[in-house]
Amino acid sequence: MPRITRRRALSVVSAVSLLAAAPLAAQQPTDLAKLQDEAVRRTQEYVRINTSNPPGNEDQTMKWFARIFKEEGIPFDTASSAPGRGNIWARLKGGSQPALVLLHHMDVVPADPKYWDVDPFAATIKNGEIYGRGALDTKTLGVLELEAFLALHRAHVPLDRDVIFMATADEEAGGNFGAGWVVKHHPEAFKGAGMLLNEGGGGDLEDGKTSFSIEVTQKTPFWVKLTATGTPGHGSTPPPASAVNRLIRALDRLQTYQFAPRVVPAVAAYMAAVAPSVPEKWKQYFLNPAKLTADPNLLTELQIDNPEFAGLLRNTCSITMLQASPKINVIPPEAQAQVDCRLLPDQDHAAFLRELAAALNDPQIKIETVLDFTAAVSPSTTPLYQAIVRVIEKNYPGASIAPAVSTGFTDSHWFRDLGIASYGFAPIVTPHDEESGVHGNNERTSVAEVRKGTGVMLELVRGLVGR
């Protein structure tokens, strides 16, 4: 059974006068500067807690947040879905409007130090940038949300709705020990919620142009495990066929198979919105992506230049994990592969499974679904979406803004399934060539962006929830 703990912090601390009725720029700059200093320090502290998933160990970051809430006198709850897998949430009470959830995940993907310039869990500041696994995905976002949440509490800001801070486990593996588990076992954590802010969007800087994406939907993961079986034997006497050979032949057919390209409405809107900021050679095609899907050579070129957008024009499958014999001289009775497929938001999953089986072209290979989510789109007409647009326009003049479709998945789908309008947005501008740090090497974000993002996030949340 999952272990569940419940804690309530009881003390109350005095508020600071960070926020007032005047706009953020006219408020006390010293207090904002202190909040920014605190955000930089806490980003480093957070990154230094190794929550690589597997195994996660998010109970350590859960305890870190719990200490902060205790110091601030904010009631909170914790719940562990399994040993070491912690989740935490806190709520500021307000008026009767639908509550706002500030969500992020505490786990990160593993990092191999030998491919990094610095220790990936030291949070080293180098050339004005904080290096570390989670600096972009998504510990910095968590700190920005935390600082806005604390500022509202400290200043006793009258709220027209509850504000819920939520940090969860296991997003990098699907969220079944994190957001998905909280949705199932602790629905009271987000009772009354109508809007949610999460990862999935943010700022991009390329060729001197800043563009912002606000994630409103995403391709859905359809992860599968393929298993081939055969007669085992000694490696010195290879048979005409084996489990490994059967699997290799099927995987070769899959990796050369081309899923039909097509343009779904959400992707067409996204590409049209970012067209002004893409390189000149691609502008006309982003405005009319049907031209891309009609030309295989052009689509291949886009995949080389911009694989993110190319991935939004078709279903995709990446062969990521292989397993067969544990010993070099043993022909195994079984060979397995795990494949990361991502489906367009409107794709019928049963139909895709049939197409996948046809592409493998081997009925003796067993196909098992490992992960499968539903798709949903959040509208761009809600108060939260419009507030994000306003804060971008104010703080990043001239930046393009697009309702985005993400090639990756986030925990937002758990909440969209419940009818909660959910958006991916972080007020951080990342140079385009540094975005590869997400799940890659030398992940980092600049100190200047953490400081600016602290103020922008505070302005966003304050403007949305303050009376």
- Cβ(395)–Cβ(454) under 8 Å? no
pLDDT at 30: 38
What is the residue type of 315? N
Residue 417 is inside which H or E element, if any?
none
Question: pLDDT tens for residues 256-266?
Answer: 999 999 999 99
Q: With 90 as the cut, is the pLDDT of residue 311 above it?
A: yes
pLDDT band at 9 (very low <50, low <70, confident <90, very high): very low
**CA–CA gap between residue 80 and residue 95 (Å, rounded):** 30
Classify 68 as helix, strand or coil: helix
Question: pLDDT tens for residues 171-207?
Answer: 999 999 999 999 999 999 999 999 999 999 999 998 8
pLDDT at 160: 97
Domains in the chain with CATH codes: 24-216+377-465 (3.40.630.10), 218-372 (3.30.70.360)
What is the side-by-side strand order in the sheet with 444-446? 125-126, 129-131, 444-446
CB atoms under 10 Å from CB of 17, counted, come to 11
Question: Taking residues 230-237, what's their average pLDDT?
Answer: 96
Q: With 80 as the cut, is the pLDDT of residue 29 above it?
A: no
Mean pLDDT over all residues of the chain? 93
The residue with greater pLDDT, 206 or 325, is: 325
pLDDT at 277: 85
Question: Taking residues 106-134, what's their average pLDDT?
Answer: 98
- Cβ(227)–Cβ(365) under 8 Å? yes
pLDDT band at 11 (very low <50, low <70, confident <90, very high): very low
Q: With 50 as the cut, is the pLDDT of residue 17 above it?
A: no
Strands 334-343 vs 316-323: parallel, antiparallel or unpaired: antiparallel
Nearest Cα to 362, choosing from 252, 260, 238? 252
pLDDT band at 410 (very low <50, low <70, confident <90, very high): very high
Q: With 50 as the cut, is the pLDDT of residue 5 above it?
A: no
Strands 161-168 vs 85-92: parallel, antiparallel or unpaired: antiparallel
